[in-house]
Amino acid sequence: NFFESIPVLRHKYKTYGHSYFDALKMPLGKIHEDLRLAINCVTQRRPNLKDSYKPKAGGFEAIVGWKPLLFEHSGYRSLRNHELREMVLEDEAKFGRFIEGKITNTTQ
């Protein structure tokens, strides 16, 4: 949610820190587990995940501790979730989907 677009996010993973050379070509979910978690969250997919990468029971309201102020507004969260979902689905249509260790070229 800190990035305005998927291309900006991909550029970050290609060029910063422990960069992923193919980040501009591979399915977004293959780049990093954190991205897979975000993708699964906004698309409401529930593949077999390690416990640390499963969605939190109770959703946003169950998060204890600091949260970005803007996300306290449920209407904003809902709109941003929808916007991010659309960006992810568009990206998957172009680059494929990475789920449970497999790349598919479908957005079913």
Of the candidates 78, 92, 4, the one whose C-alpha atom is nearest the C-alpha of residue 40 is: 92
Q: What is the mean pLDDT of residues 30-37?
A: 87
Query: Rg of the Cα trace of the chain?
Result: 14
Average the pLDDT over 20-42 and give the result: 88
Q: What is the pLDDT of residues 50-102, one digit of tens each?
A: 665 666 778 888 888 998 888 889 999 999 999 999 999 999 999 999 877 77
Return d(Cα 105, Cα 34) in angstroms, integer. Answer: 21
- Percentages helix, strand, coil for the chain, rounded to the nearest 5? 55, 5, 40
Share of the chain above pLDDT 70, in %: 87
Check whether 107 has a pLDDT greater than 50: no
